[in-house]
């Protein structure tokens, strides 16, 4: 397994292109299962999780063609089974997104239960309860969810907890159900709205996606379309924070500042100069050390949990003390132990980290634990003196396209080597 060697001490300065959003690409690839005509998905990020989704669809007999611009054409007319095996689902929880589409279009689905996951328990009860409310018969046998339905029926569903993928799964299931489905307390993430945009282009009748109340009027079939995935706001935020922690300047292109309002406000609070155009954002710390900023994660439009670890690094080397409170996942502080190895001063109290800014970090061997935690270690390595060796980096490749090339474009020194 490869590892990354980050040599710290440089101030990032430059411009990069932002990829399509992983968290929209995965549900939209699953949504192609709903269509009886080919769908072309554009601006798909080149990531392990996307490859896993393609493999998942391929194992069902779905035909996938990737063109020279990396657009993916998905044709479900060759599908011959409705099975999502454990060996794929265990590497990517988002595989659960095929459940709603398979069940509503083909009347059956066998999807492995995702296991626990490092950042928390992450059950799928909200997905299953919603589908049951729509009339599905769901049994869990030998670690597999076995779901059946003649035709799902529209239902009034109130999500107990705001869940992004459950909202998407139920919205997709509702598109081909009989009658109207209302999803209350729905996730409002822009990726949910992007999935809805694609579904609407396929012929679905959906209103309210991107708000907490989504209404879907079921239709009898969905057809083909061509959909361009929206920019990845978490990748954008990660590179902007990387610029800020190194006291440098980063311009992110092909992104959308409207998706990052809270993140940009936090960067301004940290002392960065932030400028935006229609599809670009530039953050410039002008050589200054960031000021500590308090962080409190919550579902969109609040500060995303997927940016918590990166802001923790900013606070680690900031002037002053701060609190970082995680409210979405119960165990998303694994990066803290690793940051302590680099010389951070962080104390954990329940779901809050008390961070006292230190003037510098020192490079050390560290281990990546989950996707965003891994990114935070790269950021920490960029400010630390000497070399930081990050092992178990497969997590990074699940969510960041060409991270070392992009950082190199910004002047960072990051090398991938066989461990």
Give the binding site for ligand UD1 (CB under 6 A): 23, 26, 93-94, 120-127, 161, 163-166, 304-306, 328-329
Give the shortest CB-311-to-ligand UD1 separation in angstroms: 14
> Do 241 and 307 meet the contact criterion of CB atoms below 8 Å apart?
yes
Q: Which residues contact 296 (CB under 8 A, 6 or more apart)?
A: 302, 303, 325, 327
Give the nearer residue to ligand UD1 in terms of CB position, either 124 or 292: 124
Half-sphere exposure at residue 414, Cβ-oriented, CA atoms within 13 angstroms: 27
Q: Is the dihedral of CA 118, 120, 123, 126 positive or negative?
A: negative
Helix (H, G, I), strand (E, B) or coil at 154: coil
With residues binned 3-state (H G I as helix, E B as strand, rest as coil), the percentages for the chain, rounded to 5, are 35, 30, 35
Q: Which residues contact 142 (CB under 8 A, 6 or more apart)?
A: none
Half-sphere exposure at residue 270, Cβ-oriented, CA atoms within 13 angstroms: 39
Give the nearer residue to ligand UD1 in terms of CB position, either 262 or 318: 262
> How far apart are the C-alpha atoms of 407 and 419, rounded to whole Å?
20
Give the nearer residue to ligand UD1 in terms of CB position, either 164 or 241: 164
Compute CA distances 233 → 43, 123, 322, 404, whole Å. 14, 25, 24, 19
Give the nearer residue to ligand UD1 in terms of CB position, either 90 or 289: 90
* Angle at the Cα of 331 from the Cα atoms of 47 and 377, rounded to 5 degrees: 50
Give the shortest CB-165-to-ligand UD1 separation in angstroms: 3
Give the nearer residue to ligand UD1 in terms of CB position, either 93 or 416: 93
Give the nearer residue to ligand UD1 in terms of CB position, either 236 or 305: 305
Q: Is the dihedral of CA 41, 91, 79, 167 positive or negative?
A: negative
End-to-end CA distance of the chain: 6
> How far apart are the C-alpha atoms of 363 and 343, rounded to whole Å?
9
Structural tokens at position 310: 């990166």
Give the shortest CB-189-to-ligand UD1 separation in angstroms: 7
Give the shortest CB-378-to-ligand UD1 separation in angstroms: 17
Give the shortest CB-161-to-ligand UD1 separation in angstroms: 4
Give the nearer residue to ligand UD1 in terms of CB position, either 110 or 122: 122
Give the shortest CB-286-to-ligand UD1 separation in angstroms: 32
> Based on C-alpha coordinates, what's the Rg of the chain?
21
Give strand pairing partners of 296: 325
> How far apart are the C-alpha atoms of 87 and 407, rounded to whole Å?
32
Give the shortest CB-350-to-ligand UD1 separation in angstroms: 15
Half-sphere exposure at residue 4, Cβ-oriented, CA atoms within 13 angstroms: 32
| Catalytic sites, residue numbers | 117
């Amino acid at each position: 397994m490869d590892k990354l060697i980050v040599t710290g001490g440089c101030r990032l300065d430059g411009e990069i292109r932002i990829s399509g959003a992983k968290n929209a690409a995965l549900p939209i690839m699953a949504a192609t299962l709903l269509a009886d005509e080919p769908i072309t998905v554009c601006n798909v990020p080149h990531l392990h999780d996307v490859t896993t989704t393609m493999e998942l669809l391929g194992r069902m007999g779905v035909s996938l063609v990737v063109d020279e611009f990396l657009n993916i054409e998905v044709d479900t007319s060759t599908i011959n089974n409705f099975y999502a095996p454990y060996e794929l689902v265990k590497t990517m929880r988002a595989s659960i997104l095929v459940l709603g589409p398979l069940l509503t279009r083909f009347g059956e689905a066998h999807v492995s239960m995702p296991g626990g996951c490092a950042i928390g328990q992450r059950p799928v009860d909200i997905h299953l309860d919603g589908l049951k409310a729509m009339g599905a018969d769901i049994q869990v046998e030998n670690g597999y969810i076995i779901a059946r339905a003649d035709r799902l029926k529209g239902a009034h569903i109130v999500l107990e907890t705001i869940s992004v993928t459950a909202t998407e799964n139920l919205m997709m299931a509702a598109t081909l159900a009989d009658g109207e489905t209302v999803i209350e307390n729905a996730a409002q993430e822009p990726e949910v709205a992007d999935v809805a945009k694609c579904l609407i282009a396929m012929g679905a009748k959906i209103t309210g996606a991107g708000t907490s109340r989504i209404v879907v009027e079921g239709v009898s079939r969905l057809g083909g379309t061509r959909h361009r995935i929206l920019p990845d706001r978490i990748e954008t935020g990660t590179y902007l924070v990387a610029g800020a922690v190194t006291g440098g300047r980063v311009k992110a292109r092909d992104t959308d500042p409207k998706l990052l309002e809270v993140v940009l406000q936090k960067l301004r609070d940290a002392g960065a100069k932030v400028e935006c155009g229609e599809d670009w954002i530039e953050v410039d710390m002008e050589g200054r050390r960031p000021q500590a900023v308090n962080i409190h994660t919550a579902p969109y439009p609040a500060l995303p949990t997927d940016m918590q670890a990166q802001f923790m690094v900013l606070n680690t080397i900031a002037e002053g003390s701060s609190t970082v409170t995680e409210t979405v996942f119960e165990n998303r502080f694994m990066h803290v132990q690793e940051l302590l190895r680099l010389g951070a001063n962080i104390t954990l109290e329940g779901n809050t980290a008390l961070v006292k800014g230190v003037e510098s970090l020192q490079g050390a061997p560290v281990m990546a634990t989950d996707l965003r935690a891994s990114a935070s270690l790269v950021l920490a390595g960029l400010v630390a003196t000497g070399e930081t060796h990050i092992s178990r980096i497969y997590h990074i490749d699940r969510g960041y396209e060409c991270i070392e090339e992009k950082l190199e474009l910004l002047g960072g020194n990051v090398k991938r080597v066989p461990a």
